[in-house]
Each structure stands twice: as structure tokens, then as C-alpha cells.
Amino acid sequence: MLRMKTYINNATCKLAKYAAIVVILVGTFSSCKREILSRELLSNYEANTYGEVFKVFWNGMNSNYLFWDEEKVDWDSIYYAYKPKFDSLDVQPYSDSTTNRCFQYMADMTKDLKDGQYAFLFWPGGDVNFEGKLYKNYISFIPKLFRTQQVRESLPDTLFDYVIQYNYLKNFDYGVYRDPQTMEPFQIITGNLKKGSKNVIYTSLNTFTLKESYDYNYSTRPTRPVIKNLFDNIRKSNMDALIIDLRNNRGGNMEDISYLAGQFTSKPVLFGYARYKSGTGRLDYTPQLPMIITPQSGANDFKKPIVILTDIYSSALCETVINAFKALPETSVTIIGERTYGTAGYIMGDDVANGGNFNVGSFASVRMSNTAVKDIKGKFNFTGIDPDIEINYTPASIKQMLSSGVDIQMEKAIQFINQ
């Protein structure tokens, strides 16, 4: 039965069109992997009927998903509940509504999974009902993101940039780098606080592309001198505290964990554990592997206060960076702001040998963690990192920030440092 082929012919061009969106929403990361046994996965199977779509989708999730031992979802019960629904679509007259029901079924099957990276990309597009809201003309079903957006939409980086630059900083500097392939921007901002009595350095990172941007030589506003100046100032004895602004930071490159946190320690520091898929069985996982901060050249044990600003869109590798800072033994780290997004894994590269991503023929794709990460206490970060001092944005405080330039999280950080 070939009636789904209408959509399949356009899948390749749609994939290219929406690749950049996947990077933004899901937080795709590049990094070197440990050597893990390669295996055959359900990753490129064709699916010409709704029944075949179900088979590939169910088996792909069963084989590739990294958190089945943490889930309350009974995947076997899902099989028996949904297989008849997909089979019934094959005996109905073809229409856009049958294809849309396929989308809805696949969303319903996976809406309660814990992986914050999970995204189902339905290339024909359609409408999907999720937690009382109708999402129209969507290709990407990302339950974690949808839930977060129901709390509030993300505040644009440019809002924070403008408010911080003009109301809180002196000696302002910045650098910008664009990924040559995706053209996604990385921006670093630095400066000294002009409020309060102490000498406080501030830096803002909208993603983690520090090392990559430092090594890149072609830019109209290079990041290298800004990064170098920041690291030099961190090592100066006259600095009283540091603020690292990670609001709206959606992740980045794994090498940045040591590249940044390694500036604050002279000794290797254990900060968490990683695991991967080791076979095609549902619970075939590797033993947990230690994740270590590697000290960077010239680094000393940093013993001054660090404040990290977070919001509900601080996510993915950003959250691992926060946990790495919290593991530094000589450093006082205080998180101020909102609970973070809640992401227990990474998507590292395009290789599916370690689980994660797979294709449902040319009809749809699944994007999810291929590296599962625990913190130093052995806990997965499904619900986000709680701040030490909670300061939540409200419609009123956002309106105030727009009109007066008063950032309630920055104000609390300044008060905390100067108390």
C-alpha cells in the first residue's frame, strides 16, 4: 500500500529546511565519543503503510531509548493499545485526517517520556493536541519544550543584552561567532558590575561554543580576545566575585565543560557519570562512566564566590556545566533564578551507534539523547536544577524590565554578593 508516498518524495528537502530548527529546539551537541560497541539499529527502514510506521517507530524507541529503566511508561502496553489503531488507518479511505491521526497517535505514545531531548519530527506536518492545547501546522512534537512554553515563552537574548549592557556594566565587551555550517550565533558578553561596592566580573554565554569560537580566526567581532581577557581577569587577586549568566542557554559542545570549569581548579574533579546503549535490548546499557573536569593550563583553585543565573530555558549541556561548577571543591557556587529546563542527556553528533536518533522511513524522524548523564549524586536531571535562591519571572517583572531596565535576578545577585 503506497498512499503515504505523497509525502515521502519531499522528505529530503524538508529535512534540510528544518535541520536548523532541530539544533535550536533539541540542543544538538558535537563531541568525541568513547569507543562503544557498534550495533545494527532500526534507523533507516522504509515505511509505506501506517502499520509499518508503527512497527518501525515502536521498535526504534524500544531499541534506542536510554531511560527505560527510569520510565513509568509501560512500552509493552503501548504496543497492544496502539497497534490496532495504526492498522485501522490502513483500511480507511486516504485523507489528510488519517495522516494527522498517525501524528497524534505517535505523539500520544511518547508524550510522557522523561527525556528532555525527545523530539518527534513528522515531515508531512499537521495538527497535534497536547495537554489541552492545539498545536497547528507543526512538524516538531517536543513535549518538554511545549510544557515549558506553557509556563512562559523564552525571553530573547537581545533583551538581556540590552538591559545588562546599559544598566549594570562598565568595561563592556563582547564577541560573536557563527557556526560556519548552521550560522547559529554564539555570543559572549563581559564587563564589571557598576552597582555595589565589590569588584564583580560578569559574563554571559548564550550557548557553549567557547573553545570552538576561540580557535576560529575569521570573525568581524572575534571572541578570542574577550575569552582570553575573561580568563586573565578570573586569575587576578583583586576580583571579589564572578557572575555567569546562563539564562536562555540551550547547550553546546561537551569540550566546553572542561574548557570553562577547568579554569577554576588545579586538580581533576569528578562531576557526574555518563552511559550509553550497549546493545539492541531495551535495557542494554553500558556501566556508568566517570565524567571529569580537566584543569586548564594556568588554572588555580578558585575560592571566591560564583553566582550562576538561570531560567527555565537553561538546558541540556548548560545544566551539566552548572553541575560541574557545583562539584568544584574549593569554590562557593550559588544558583540564582529559576529552576532549569531538565535534561538528562545529550545528542552528540549524527552517529546512531550509541542509541538515540533514528528514522521512521522517510516519513518521520526521532531525535533523543544518545548519551545519558547523571550528576555527582547519581541522579538523572529530569526535572531541572533547583536554584539556591529562587527568583521567578512574572508578567509584571518582565514588563518592569522592559520599561525600567530593572532585572530582578541581577538585582538579587548584586544584593547577595554585597551582603
Give residue 252's domain range: 157-343+373-418
Judged by average pLDDT, the poorest of 11-20, 41-50, 51-60, 207-216 is 11-20
pLDDT band at 167 (very low <50, low <70, confident <90, very high): very high
3-state SS string over 33-101? Answer: CCCCCCCCCCCEECCCCHHHHHHHHHHHHHHHCCCHHHCCCCHHHHHHHHHHHHHHHCCCCCCHHHHHH
Buried b (16+ CB within 10 A) or exposed e, 92-115: eeeeeebbbbbbbbbbbbbbebbb
Residues 171 and 304 in one domain: yes
Contact 226, 188 (CB under 8 A): yes
**In Å, how far are 145, 182, 183, 362, 401 from 179, measured between CA atoms?**
24, 6, 5, 27, 31
What is the pLDDT at residue 340?
98
Number of compact structural domains in the chain: 2
Q: To the nearest whole percent, how much of the chain has pLDDT over 90?
A: 74
Domain end call among 117, 151, 185: 151
pLDDT at 42 over 50: no
Domain end call among 151, 174, 201: 151
* 363 assigned to some structural domain: no
The pairing of strands 169-178 and 289-293 is unpaired
DSSP-derived 3-state class of residue 252: strand
Residues 220 and 162 in one domain: yes
The pairing of strands 345-348 and 289-293 is unpaired
What is the pLDDT at residue 218?
79
Render pLDDT for 189-219 as a digit per residue (tens, 0 to 9).
999 999 989 999 999 999 999 999 999 977 7
- pLDDT average, residue stretch 302-309: 96
What is the distance between the alpha carbons of residues 264 and 149, in angstroms, rounded to a whole number?
Answer: 34
Residues 200 and 98 in one domain: no
Q: To the nearest whole percent, how much of the chain has pLDDT over 70?
A: 88
pTM exceeds 0.95 for this model = no
Domain end call among 131, 151, 171: 151
The pairing of strands 358-360 and 364-367 is antiparallel
What value does the CA radius of gyration of the chain take, rounded to a whole number of Å? 23
* 356 assigned to some structural domain: no
What is the pLDDT at residue 98?
92
pLDDT at 160 over 90: no
* 365 assigned to some structural domain: no
Render pLDDT for 228-279 as a digit per residue (tens, 0 to 9).
999 999 988 789 999 999 999 999 999 999 999 999 999 999 999 999 999 8
Among 309, 320, 310, CA closest to 257: 320
Among 239, 66, 166, 135, CA closest to 407: 166
Residues 205 and 106 in one domain: no
Q: What are phi and psi of 314, to 5 degrees?
A: -75, 110
CATH number, domain at 163?
A: 3.90.226.10
* 368 assigned to some structural domain: no
Residues 290 and 252 in one domain: yes
* 162 assigned to some structural domain: yes
Please state, rounded to an integer, the average pLDDT across all residues of the chain.
87
Contact 347, 357 (CB under 8 A): yes
Residues 10 and 108 in one domain: yes
Residues 63 and 145 in one domain: yes
What is the distance between the alpha carbons of residues 407 and 255, in angstroms, rounded to a whole number?
Answer: 31
Q: What is the DSSP letter of 262?
A: G
Render pLDDT for 313-364 as a digit per residue (tens, 0 to 9).
999 999 999 999 999 998 999 999 999 999 999 888 655 456 789 999 888 9
What is the pLDDT at residue 16?
31
Residues 322 and 393 in one domain: yes
Residues 182 and 76 in one domain: no
pLDDT at 40 over 60: no
DSSP-derived 3-state class of residue 212: helix
Residues 43 and 147 in one domain: yes
pLDDT band at 43 (very low <50, low <70, confident <90, very high): low
Residues 81 and 180 in one domain: no
* 98 assigned to some structural domain: yes
What's the residue count for the chain? Answer: 419
What is the pLDDT at residue 237?
79
pLDDT at 2 over 50: no
Contact 346, 319 (CB under 8 A): no
